[in-house]
Structure 1
Amino acid sequence: MNDTIPTMGKPSPRRSLSRVLLEFLGSMNLAITLLVVVAVASIIGTVLQQNQPYPDYVRKFGPFWFDVFSRLGLYDVYGAGWFIAILGFLILSTSVCLYRQAPLRVREMLRFRTQIRADSLRGFQQSAEWRLPDRDLAGTLAAVTGSFRNFGYRWQIKDHGDHQVAAAMKGRYNRLGYLFTHAAVVVIGVGGLLDGNLWLKLKEWRGEITLETRNLAARDIPPASRLTPGETPAFRGNVMLPEGSAANFVFLRLRDGFLLQELPFAIELQDFQVEYHTTGQPKSFTSKVRIHDEEHLGATPLEAVIRVNHPLVYRGYAIYQSDFGDGGSKLELRAWPLTTARLDAVDAQGEIGSALKVAGPTGPLNLELDDFRLFNLLPEPGAQPGDRKFRNFGPSVGFKLRDAAGEAREYLNYMTPSQLEGRWFSSAGAHPSGR
C-alpha cells in the first residue's frame, strides 16, 4: 500500500499588527461611518440651540428628558467628549488615507505607464486589439501620436526592443481634487477640535480649572475659574457691553457654568446703532469701539467700526457682534400686585442692568431690570405657517423678582395693550428663573 502525503501550498505571509491597523484606519468604510455620525451630531447641534442656561432646557423638555439629553451632552454637542473623540478618529482616518494614497496619486500625475505589459492591457475592461499588417511601425506611431496631439494629450513612447509602448495622459491635475478634498476634511476637523473647547476639556480633566456656577461679578471670580491671555490657543466667548463701558475679559459658557477669559487689551463700546425696516424688524447693527492696549498702541487707542459680517480682527482676536440688548435705558415703573388683596401701586425708578429694593407681599424683594425692547415684531396671531405676517406688539420690559432666599421669578411685560379678536388685552408672562 502506498501512502500519499498531502502537500500544502505556500502559506500567505502574516501581516504585522501595524499594517493591519494602518489599513483599518485608512479604510473607506470607517471614514464614511465616522463622517455620517459627525453629520448627524452636527444636525442635532444645529436644531437644538446650544449652550443655553440649564433652567431654559428644564422648562422646555421637562426634568426627565433634560437629564437624558444632559447625560448625552446634547446641550454642548461640539464640546462633548464623544463628539471630540469621533472627530479625532475621523481626522486620523482621513490623514492615514491621505498618507497612503498621496504618493500614488502624485506618481500617477507625473509618470507615464510605459512599463505595462501586453497581458495587463488585455485585462482592462475597456481594451481593443488590432493587427495592421499593411502599416509599418513608424507610420503607426505617427498616426497614434497625431491623434494624441489632436485631442490634447501628452504622451511618451518607450522602446522595449521587441515592441514599443505609447502612453498618453490628460487631465492629470484632476487628481489633485482627491488630495485637496481629504486635506480639507483634516483642516476642518482640526478647526472643529479647537472650536470644541478641546484645550478646556483637557485642563478640566487635569483639575487645572473649575467651572463657576454662582452669579458673581467679574472681579469676584476666583483664580481657578480664570484663564490668562494665551493660556488656550482658541476660544469663543462673549461679554455684554453697555454704551460707554469697557471690558478686558469675556465669559466662556460651559455646560451649567462658565469661565472668565482675560484679554490682553480692553474693548470700549462708544456707540451702538440699530437700523430698522419700516415693519419694525431690525435691519443692521453697528458698533463703534475703541481698543485700549498700552503695550502695543501706547496712549492712543485704536478706533474701529464693527458691522454685521465685518468683525474687527486685532492681534489674532476676531471681535464681532453676536447679540444686542438694552444698554441702560432709564425706566419709571408702576406695579400692581396681582396675588394679594393690596391694590396700592408700587412706584420704582431705575435703569436696565440695575437692581432695586421693592416691597413684596411677604417681604422685600430685589427687582432686577434685565431688558427693554422698543419693538417686538412677532407673528400675527392666527397666521398660518409660511404666511410671513408680523405685528409690532410695541415696547416690552423684562425683569426678575428675587426673594431673600435667592430664588427668582422672571417676567416679561408688554407696555401697550394688543387687540385680539376684537378685544383689548394686556400681555405679560412669567416663569421661575432660579438664577
Structure 2
Amino acid sequence: MASVKLALFLIALLASTSIIGTVIQQNKPGEHYPEQWGENAAKVIQALNLDDMYNSVWFLCLLGAFSLNLIICSLDRIPTVIKMVRKDNLATDPDRLPKMKLHKEEKIVGGSLTTATEEVKKYLNRKGWKPDSRAQQYGTLFFSQKGARTRYGVYVVHLSILIILLGAVIGSSTVATKILGDREFAFKGGISLPETAESDFIFSYTDDKKIPLGFTVRCNYFDIHYYPGSSMPKDYLSNLTVIEDEKEVLTTTIEVNKPLIYRGITFYQSSYNQIGAAIIKLRETTSGNVHAFPVDPQNYSVTNKWQEGGTDAMIRIQSARPIQTPDGKSSTEMKIWLMDSDGPPSMFPLMYGTPVIVERPKAKYELSISPHFATGLQVAKDPGVWWVYTGCALMLIGLYMAFFMSHRKIWAHVYEIDGQPMVLFAGHANKNSFGFAKTFSSLTEDFAKRK
C-alpha cells in the first residue's frame, strides 16, 4: 500500500472511469438509457450504476483505496523529510564545505579572528540570513536556512487531495442513504414546476422518492428567449420565491450557471417543457414586477388579483374568439378587463405574440399571452462542498510550496590561516539551483565589496 506504482494505477483507474461517467449522462430517467444506448447496454449501465457512477459503491471504494494508499505513502516517507528539516546542520564537517558546488573563500583584512567572526555574523544578519553558530576546533561555523518547511509542500498537496475526497464522500447521496441512514443529509434530485405553482419537495434521482425541502419554492414565471429568426433557445430563466413559515423570504431569478442557494440546497435551471395551456404575463414597467396568471380554457371569467404599489389590482378575460393572423395561422384574441384603485377599468384586446401596453393613472403595464411552461429544476444538497473548496485552496498552497519555493542553506566558516582571518561561504538549495546560484553569488560579492 506504500507503493507509488499502486498510486499511479489507482489514479489511472479513477481517470478512466471518470471518462465513462462523462460519456454516459448521469442521473437521467430510466427510459433515457435504452433510447440512447440500446436495451443490452442499458442493462449493463444500470447493473454497474454507471447512470449514477460517482455515487456508486464501487467508485467510492476506489476513492477509499486511493485515499488509503496516499495516507500510507505519506506516513512512510514523511519521517525522512522531518529528519531533513530538523537536521543539525551546524554539525556539518567544515571540510565538506569546499566540496559543495557553491562555495567561495574570502580574506578578512585587518582585525583578529574574534572581530572577523563578529563581522561575518553582522553581515549575515544584515542580509536577512539570521544565523546560528557553533565554535569549531579551528574557528566558528555559522548556518542559516530559509524555506525548510517547503519540503512539506508535497504532503500539503496529499492532505488537500484527502480533504477533497472527504468532501466528495460527505456529499454523496449513497453515503447519506446507506451509511448515515438520512436521505435528507445529502441528495440530488429534481422537479418540474409549472409557472405559478409551488412545491415543498423534490424527487430523488436515485429512487424517484419524494425528498422534503423544509420550505416551499414557487415558480412565479418562466421566460425564454430565442435566437432571431429561429426556434433555438438563446437563454431561459425562472423567477423563484422561497416561502418559509408562510412568509416570502427570498425572490430571485435563476438561469443556467446562475443558481439559487438557500439553506445549503442549490436549485439549478436545467430544462423546461410546455404544458399546453396559455398564461398571461403582466409586467409593471416602472418597478419591473412581473405577475403571471394561467388561463383556464374552461372558465375564462376567473378574476385574478395582485398588489402593485400597495394597492389592489385585478384582471379578467371577458371573452375569447378564434382569429386568423395575417400570415394565415390560427390564433386566439382575448378581450381583457383590467382594474386598479385608480380610475375606471381598462378594456382592450390581447392576442398571442403581440404585447399590449396599458397605461393607468399611476402605473404602466405591458401584457402578453404565451404558452404555459414548467421549469425543470435540478436540486442538490452537498454538505461536502466547503470541504472541497477548502481542499482546493490548500492544494494551491501546497503546489506553490512544492514548485515555486525551495529549501535554501547558507554556511559560513570563519577560521584563521597563519594569523590571517578567512571566511568560507557555501550554499545549497534543493530546487531552483540556478536562481539560488545568483543569490549566493550576490551574497559573496557584496561581502567582498563591503567597507
Query: What range describes the TM-score normalised by the shorter chain of this pair?
Result: 0.5 to 0.7
Partner of 2:142: 166
Distance apart, 1:252 and its partner CA: 1.5
Structure 1 residues 146 and 37: CA distance shift in structure 2, 3 A: farther
Which of 1 and 2 has greater Rg?
A: 2
Q: CA deviation digits over 1:182-209, x for unaligned, max 9?
A: 2321222122223442325526xx9x7x
Letter in 2 for 1:67: K
Structure 1 residues 200 and 160: CA distance shift in structure 2, 3 A: same
- SS at 1:154 equivalent: coil
- SS at 1:239 equivalent: strand
- SS at 2:237 equivalent: strand
Within a 5 Å distance, the mapping from 1:6-85 to structure 2 comes to: 24-25=1-2, 27-85=3-61
Distance apart, 1:306 and its partner CA: 2.1
Higher RCO structure, 1 or 2 (CA under 8 Å, sep 6+): 2
Q: Select 2:211's aligned residue among 248, 261, 275.
A: 261
Q: Distance in 2 between matches of 1:266 and 1:258?
A: 19
Letter in 2 for 1:263: L
**2:90 and 2:143 in contact (8 A); partners too:** no
Within a 5 Å distance, the mapping from 1:90-239 to structure 2 comes to: 90-97=66-73, 113-118=88-93, 127=101, 136=113, 139=116, 142=119, 146=123, 154-162=129-137, 164-172=140-148, 174-175=150-151, 177-200=153-176, 202=178, 231-239=183-191
Structure 1 residues 146 and 301: CA distance shift in structure 2, 3 A: closer
Q: Which moved more, 1:77-86 or 1:282-291?
A: 282-291
Q: What's the Cα RMSD here?
A: 4.2
The answer to whether residue 226 in structure 2 is matched with residue 276 in structure 1 is yes
Distance apart, 1:242 and its partner CA: 0.7
Structure 1 residues 32 and 147: CA distance shift in structure 2, 3 A: farther
Q: Distance in 2 between matches of 1:41 and 1:137?
A: 68
**1:243 and 1:272 in contact (8 A); partners too:** yes
The answer to whether residue 218 in structure 2 is matched with residue 242 in structure 1 is no
Q: Distance in 1 between matches of 2:142 and 2:158?
A: 32
Higher strand share: 2
What are structure 1's unaligned runs of at least 5 residues?
Answer: 1-23, 209-229, 332-348, 351-394, 396-435
Q: CA deviation digits over 1:61-98, x for unaligned, max 9?
A: 33333333443332222122211101122233334455
Q: CA deviation digits over 1:223-277, x for unaligned, max 9?
A: xxxxxxx6442111111101011111111122xx423211101111001112333
Within a 5 Å distance, the mapping from 1:357-376 to structure 2 comes to: none
**2:117 and 2:140 in contact (8 A); partners too:** no
Partner of 1:292: 243
Structure 1 residues 46 and 308: CA distance shift in structure 2, 3 A: same
Q: Distance in 2 between matches of 1:41 and 1:145?
A: 60
Q: Among all aligned residue pairs of Structure 1 and Structure 2, give the percentage whose two residues are the same amino acid.
A: 25
Structure 1 residues 132 and 324: CA distance shift in structure 2, 3 A: same
**1:51 and 1:253 in contact (8 A); partners too:** yes
TM-score (structure 1 length as normaliser) = 0.53
- SS at 1:258 equivalent: coil
Distance apart, 1:131 and its partner CA: 7.6
**2:176 and 2:183 in contact (8 A); partners too:** no
**2:202 and 2:212 in contact (8 A); partners too:** yes
Q: Distance in 2 between matches of 1:123 and 1:279?
A: 80
- SS at 1:324 equivalent: strand
**2:89 and 2:143 in contact (8 A); partners too:** yes
Partner of 1:316: 264
Q: CA deviation digits over 1:35-72, x for unaligned, max 9?
A: 22212111111122122233332233333333334433
Structure 1 residues 317 and 73: CA distance shift in structure 2, 3 A: closer
What are structure 2's unaligned runs of at least 5 residues?
Answer: 280-296, 299-370, 372-451
Distance apart, 1:176 and its partner CA: 6.0
**1:286 and 1:308 in contact (8 A); partners too:** yes
Q: CA deviation digits over 1:306-340, x for unaligned, max 9?
A: 23333222222222212222244459xxxxxxxxx
Q: Distance in 2 between matches of 1:168 and 1:327?
A: 75
TM-score (structure 2 length as normaliser) = 0.51
Q: Which moved more, 1:234-243 or 1:312-321?
A: 312-321
Within a 5 Å distance, the mapping from 1:343-354 to structure 2 comes to: none
